[in-house]
Amino acid sequence: MYNLLKGKRGIIFGALDENSIAWKTAERVHAEGGKFVLTNAPIAMRMGKINELAEKTGSEIIPADATNLEDLENLIVKAQEVLGGKLDFVLHSIGMSVNVRKKRHYTDQNYDWTHKGWDVSAVSFHKVMQTLYKQDAMNEWGSIVALTYMAAQRTFPDYNDMADNKAYLESIARSFGYFFGTDKKVRVNTISQSPTPTTAGQGVKGFDGFIAYADKMSPLGNASAQDCADYTVSLFSDLTRKITMQNLFHDGGFSNVGVSNAVMEQFVGEE
């Protein structure tokens, strides 16, 4: 390890179990010398193993519903008290679609569910940053990262309304990134990750088949949750101070490939 985050403090949203990218990121941040508080919605905490991660990394847990401004205000005040100062990094690793969970087709959405998913998956990122901004809770050259997926740019039929949520999330990163950069010298980016077998990801129809397809399309193969944790740490570090308002593809090259020989062979066979 390189002590890339020695002396840095932050908040990690969304660690559920050892399959989640937020969990792997917390472990890697800890290994690089960073300190943080863990947070998740109370219902998600009951489903997951966050206490195990807190013990492993010597971290405190502060429950918070990321869609609730009062919860967020409390979280950010308490996090600074626990950690002993302003924050240097924040990871937003939150996403949920009730329509996907309840198997409602994109052409037959329940709009109450759509609104709930939009609030949890995208608007919560604005709420987190607005609260950080108003409290002046970030140190200069701090880094805020949210996780996204390239269904924001291209159509993946079974990704449903999560595709719309991710597109909105990425727009928030650009829009808020301007103000956070200009006013506070804080950078804001999104990481567009390979399909990853997290608890949330596995809820998408046909997910196993798509992971295999993406792996065959990507020159370097799919990026794992551990790979994403490593990349996130680099964005939290001082080595990436001038990267902001970017949607950064972390997908083994998938996003720039039209077709690969490995995929073509499935259709035409080897000549």
**Where do the domains of the chain lie?**
9-268
Confidence band for 60, pLDDT divided at 50, 70 and 90: very high
* Domain 9-268 in CATH 3.30.43.10: no
The pLDDT value given to residue 204: 67
Query: How far, CA to CA in Å, does 170 sit from each of 69, 121, 221, 238?
Result: 21, 11, 24, 23
The letter for the amino acid at 123 is V
Confidence band for 207, pLDDT divided at 50, 70 and 90: confident
Confidence band for 56, pLDDT divided at 50, 70 and 90: very high
- Ranges 49-53, 73-77, 208-212, most confident: 73-77
